[in-house]
Amino acid sequence: MTTAHALPSYLNPDELGPWGVYLQQIDRVTPHLGSLSRWVETLKRPKRILTVDVPIERDDGSIAHYEGYRVQHNMSRGPGKGGVRFHQDVTLSEVMALSAWMTVKNAAVNVPYGGAKGGIRVDPKTLSRGELQRLTRRYTSEISLIIGPNKDIPAPDVNTNEQVMAWMMDSYAMIEGNLSTGVVTGKPISLGGSLGRREATGRGVFVVGREAAVKRGVAIEGARVAIQGFGNVGGVAATMFADAGAKVIAVQDHTGTVVNQGGLDVARLHHHVAEVGSVSGFPGAEAFLDRDAFWGIESDILIPAALEQQITADNAPRIRTKIILEGANGPTTPEADDILTDKDVLIVPDVLANAGGVTVSYFEWVQDFSSFFWSEDEINARLTRIMQDAFNAVWTVAQDKKVTLRTATFILACTRVLQAREVRGLYP
């Protein structure tokens, strides 16, 4: 018999944040886990949480302290894997949820990793390049106790990029006294990075989107696509959908929403964002709407690719679309999930839709270990196959069990994790 435990003392039951969303998702999958459900409490508590103080000297000579985390949610199937986020709203609850979603995601696409995530509560836009480098290096040194090529492998997430990964790798290499390229993924190509990694998450979103469109009878050619977030994930997905003949009719970033019902010129929008720093003022837009109006725009495919908890019980009733592809992690609350499912919207969940990034991170790690690098065509072909196979496996479970794609993904993934848990047994 398992004992249901109370929440750990470090969580506030009234403000569970994203971790509360994740716990509800686990409750939904539990009835489908059969005898493995005796292990389900394993999924409701992270294996290891490290909180670190990250002090740096600012350029003006003052000392600033930042709150940093690395959470290893589950390592039954392999070393920890998950990104590092620099954002002013990072909380422990958020990093815990993101680490748990990595456990599910890695098992869903069957790459041999557990789930982990890290973050620093900082707005990196307020830091100079030198300050950002010092912050990254000190954070890496603080978490170096628990990361490593066979222990836990960080990667980029919101506001972190290949330069940040290069600094992390270098800091770790200095501490360890050896090169250790495999300690992080999402590195620059010149440092053991993989071709295709930068585009991998957006590409994966496109690949599962194409599969979902077939199931829903939506033609990609001419499909109206609305995207929240025009960064690594949303920006690449926009390009791939536009290249396939879809019309990207709306894009929102942190400054607002640009709309063109005839289809935005995505290449020009990329140039504009590179120059100006946001979609605001894009000359190719018919209209510039405020943040909230975005959710009322009618589309065939909607891609949240910014932050979590964006689609809520407030805006879900206004959403008119056929397919939602969750590029972001945790963009839809469970209440919104139910509202949209009732409206017959097909939601491809984050733990499947955005798994392309970690899949090519896995390829990068494998290439680093063997010091043998693959061509971009090989990488894209392997990525496409893994994403298609994962989508189809999830689709079959969803049909068999008459559940949503999210619950089906959780059934597949949690079964893999808990089977590993069971066969390994409890230590000691």
Ligand X SMILES: NC(=O)c1ccc[n+]([C@@H]2O[C@H](COP(=O)([O-])OP(=O)(O)OC[C@H]3O[C@@H](n4cnc5c(N)ncnc54)[C@H](O)[C@@H]3O)[C@@H](O)[C@H]2O)c1
Q: Is 117 a catalytic residue?
A: yes
Closest distance between ligand X and the C-beta of residue 324, in Å? 14
**Active-site hit among 44, 81, 105, 117:** 117
Helix then strand then coil, in percent of the chain rounded to 5, is: 50, 15, 35
Backbone conformation region of residue 2, classed left if phi is above 0, alpha if psi is from -120 to 50, else beta: beta
What three-state secondary structure class fits 258?
strand
Closest distance between ligand X and the C-beta of residue 255, in Å? 7
Contacts with ligand X by CB under 6 A lie at 156-159, 201, 228-234, 252-254, 305-307, 327-329, 354, 357
- Residues in the chain, how many? 428
Closest distance between ligand X and the C-beta of residue 67, in Å? 18
Residue 4 is classified by DSSP as P
Burial profile 45-56: b = 16 or more Cβ within 10 angstroms, e = fewer:
ebbebbebebeb
User: What single string gives the DSSP state of each residue in 313-374?
Assistant: TTTGGG---SEEE--SSS-B-HHHHHHHHHTT-EEE-HHHHTTHHHHHHHHHHHHHHHT---
Beta strand 301-304 with 115-121: parallel, antiparallel or unpaired? unpaired
| Longest distance between any two alpha carbons in the chain, whole Å | 64
Q: Is-contact 101 114, C-beta < 8 A?
A: no
Closest distance between ligand X and the C-beta of residue 46, in Å? 17
Q: What is the torsional sign of CA 188, 85, 227, 115?
A: positive
Q: Which is nearer to ligand X, 103 or 354 (CB)?
A: 354
Which residue carries 């790459």 as its tokens? 111
Nearest position to ligand X, beta carbon: 231
User: What single string gives the DSSP state of each residue in 180-235?
Assistant: -GGG-SS--GGGT--TTHHHHHHHHHHHHHHHHHHHHT--STT-EEEEE--SHHHH
Distance CA(303)–CA(309), nearest Å, equals 13
Q: How many CB atoms lie within 10 A of CB 402?
A: 8
Q: Is-contact 330 242, C-beta < 8 A?
A: no
Q: Which is nearer to ligand X, 18 or 78 (CB)?
A: 18
Q: Which is nearer to ligand X, 39 or 294 (CB)?
A: 294
Structure tokens at 374: 């693959």
Q: Which is nearer to ligand X, 302 or 418 (CB)?
A: 302
Structure tokens at 96: 């815990």
Distance CA(20)–CA(333), nearest Å, equals 10
Give me the active site residues, please: 117
